[in-house]
A and B are shown apart, each in its own frame.
Chain A
Amino acid sequence: MRSFPVMSVVMALAFAAGAAWPATTLAASAEKGKTAYVQHGCWQCHGTAGQGSLPTSGGKVIARTPLPLDAFKSFVRTTNGAMPPYRQAVLVDEELDDIYAFLQSLPPPKAVSDIPLLNGMRSQ
């Protein structure tokens, strides 16, 4: 698992979205993020590869989430939907940065066209 500075990702996303300068400038670790992702139970709803599931996350894929870091953190801290909020007392900022880095480090999914089993599925 590689470590990389979150900063570059955040900057790219933030600039692309025309957002303000991101609040955090700490280097984050995808490896530590993977550990935190498991320890705090994120994987139970979102899967080990961030694939999500229909009943627990409405099928939303969070691997390589397009959300900027600040928006991602804000959501995790304040969500009032089906997902319970993770506040500072439960999940510290550094861990959240690491989790974000882990999610960004996940590989993109295979194309359906490269998966013969899916190609032939539910043909009409």
Chain B
Amino acid sequence: MPLKNSSKTSTSKLDRRRFLAAAVAGATGAAGAVKPGQAATAHDAQERRPSALPPNAHVAAAETGTPQMPARDTGTPGSDFMVDVIKTLDIKYLPANPASSYRGIHESLINYGKNTMPEFLTCTHEESGVAMCHGYFKATGKPIMTLVHGTVGLQHATMAVYNAWCDRVPVLILGGNDLDAAQRPPGVPTFHSAQDINAIVRDYTKWDDNPVSPQHFAQSFVRMYKIATTPPYGPVMMALDGGLQTEPIREDGEKLYIPKFYTAAPPQGDAAAVKEAARLLVNAERPVIVVDRVARTPNGVRFLVEFAELLQAPVVDQGNRMNFPNTHYLARPATVINNADVIIGMELSDYWNTVNGFVDNGYEGRGQSITKIKPGTKLISISSVDLITKSNYQDFQRFQSIDVSMPGDAEATLPSLIEAVKLAISNDRKDIMAKRGEAIRQAHAKGVDNVKEAAAVAWDASPISTARLVSELYAQIKDLDWSLVSTSGNTSSWANRLWPIEKHHQWLGWSGGYGVGYGAPASVGAALGNRDASRFSVSIQSDGDLMYAPGVLWTAARHKIPLLAVMHNNRGYHQEVMHVQRLSNFRNRVANLGNDSGPVGTSIMNPDIQYHQLAQSMGWWAKGPIVDPVDLEPAIKEAVAAVKSGQPALVNVLTQPR
């Protein structure tokens, strides 16, 4: 640890660290330790300040002037020690939008820390910073961190935090804040301070803290890293007090240390429940395996293939991760659930909606629920999400009764489940399973043919069909080590249905919380991770998603992150088109289109946005709009060449709605 503490004793009139620690202790009911002299000093300091300042001049000064630094004595700034702590955890990048409330650690990171491990990447929106962390983790399996301004920066970041929470992805978020109301600059910085900035995201983070000393920071940072990276993964939040960042370290007789991080073993399903699940599956006539976020790592794919082959059971991959190769003969569509007698759902984000259906056909906004499964079907679940259920946000979905429920990590539980199945299989069951597997193999082959036939319809249409779009794209990347980092909007899952997806990094899943605006920044974050692994990143980028925070295009160009974004530009918020059309019909009204092609308020046209020009203005290679499908091949070919040269490239394609 490079930290060297100053041996000098502070003569500062106000020891903010002591004051802050005492204030927090007092607020929580602990025995306070405020010395009378210190309290008086703080009071005096407050009295010397003007009671009020002209707001306009102050606001202008705060926004445009040089910030006044607190009085410094010699010694190591607190934020230097924070950088020492951060560097022990091999965090490679820090995508963030700059902010005064974390100026202390910002300065330490780029100067003391030499802007490596982590490297600061400039973002134009906090939502982009968090979503880049989100995408990066899914491409690499390694968490990175972001910094946000408290409070407004964190408010910007919230939707991306919620997506990461729902997608069970670790993101380390540090939010600058200035707790000391007597010391912080008035005006704008005080508008941007709060008693508890973490409250903004507490409902959808795994843990948060507000350290009041350097040692507290060290313990809490290692703790937050451990919590975030222990399944079930999730985002974590830490408020970073301005004073704690800028004041020098004082030993006060206590030696600072950095706790060592050790990876925690993931929680596994109960042994007796595993045995019972194996018994049910082995004796089932029509077992079905349904998976959503099983494969946290490539190992998860291997385990799942072994498990499915052992049972000769069809696998329905709901696709929030690349769980199972879609070329494997046991990969089957969701319709096989209808005839199952035993279903094992692993890390499902919505078990109820897996075995039930909902038709949005209610005249008064209440749809119709229908069961998809036969009476008596046994349900088994392995889900780590059962371990982190919260109350307010409803990401836990509708309640589903389960016969054998195992709160635990599915990937970690699979080896013991495989062993339990091996023990439970008798020779006569093996014969039955082999016959079942052969029938599934034939159905799989027929299914592939059906998909291709469906893709052929509207092949030459303009606007271009989404099936044609993804087929032309695949033709240009198929010989590369490609990674489909995101498909935003809805392209009827053509890429997942047509492309052979066999490696864990070839498909990274969706946003988690379906908060639109994930696709563009998460793609850039994933492409950052793939750049370092020499993979070719490709995204299918929808128009609506891109327009939430298009500044991330600049971030990609600025930091030389190669990414091919092919646009699914259907010129509308198509999901909302359907909702307004549905309600219009229910109410016997003709939907008012205005001058657009969708109901008023749902189109992104008149004028059409020239996304290729938008991308070009931010340093991308770009081309478009592509209207005729025959123009797709040469445009994508050029774009691939641009990406291979190291730059991001975008092809703007006018497409069918879905």
Could you list which residues of chain A lie within 8 angstroms of chain B, going by C-beta atoms?
A: 38-41, 43-45, 47-56, 59, 61, 63, 80-82, 84-87, 89-90, 109-112, 115, 117-118, 121-124
A122-B498 contact given A90-B585, A117-B475, CB 8 Å threshold: yes
Give A41 Cβ to nearest chain B Cβ, in Å.
5
Distance in angstroms between the alpha carbons of A49 and B629 in the assembled complex: 14
A87-B588 contact given A44-B598, A44-B657, A56-B658, CB 8 Å threshold: yes
**Those 9 A-B pairs whose CB atoms lie nearest each other, nearest first:** A84-B585, A49-B458, A51-B458, A53-B658, A51-B457, A54-B492, A89-B588, A109-B457, A84-B582
Across-interface contacts of B493 in A (CB, < 8 A)? 54-55
Within 8 Å by CB of B499, from A39, A45, A85, A122, lies A122
**B200 lies within 8 A of chain A by Cβ:** no
Classify the interface of chain A: helix, strand, loop or mixed: loop
A61 B471 Cβ-Cβ under 8 A: no
Q: How many A-B residue pairs have CB under 8 A?
A: 138
B597 A38 Cβ-Cβ under 8 A: yes
Could you list which residues of chain B lie within 8 angstroms of chain A, going by C-beta atoms?
A: 326-327, 329, 359-361, 368, 445, 448-449, 451-461, 463, 465-467, 471-472, 474-475, 490, 492-493, 497-500, 574, 577-578, 581-582, 584-586, 588-591, 593, 597-599, 656-658
Distance in angstroms between the alpha carbons of A118 and B460 in the assembled complex: 13
Name 7 A/B residue pairs within 8 A (Cβ), A-sorted.
A44-B577, A44-B578, A54-B492, A55-B658, A56-B658, A112-B453, A112-B456
Distance in angstroms between the alpha carbons of A39 and B581 in the assembled complex: 11
A49 B492 Cβ-Cβ under 8 A: no
A41 B471 Cβ-Cβ under 8 A: no
A115-B657 contact given A49-B461, A55-B492, A84-B585, CB 8 Å threshold: no
Across-interface contacts of A38 in B (CB, < 8 A)? 597
A112-B452 contact given A44-B581, A121-B471, A121-B474, CB 8 Å threshold: yes
B359 A63 Cβ-Cβ under 8 A: no
Across-interface contacts of A110 in B (CB, < 8 A)? 456, 459-460
Across-interface contacts of A55 in B (CB, < 8 A)? 490, 492-493, 658
Give A73 Cβ to nearest chain B Cβ, in Å.
15
B361 A80 Cβ-Cβ under 8 A: yes
A109 B459 Cβ-Cβ under 8 A: yes
Within 8 Å by CB of B361, from A39, A52, A82, A123, lies A82
A82-B458 contact given A87-B588, A121-B452, A123-B500, CB 8 Å threshold: no
Give A106 Cβ to nearest chain B Cβ, in Å.
9
Across-interface contacts of B500 in A (CB, < 8 A)? 121-124
A118-B455 contact given A49-B465, A55-B492, CB 8 Å threshold: yes
B577 A41 Cβ-Cβ under 8 A: yes
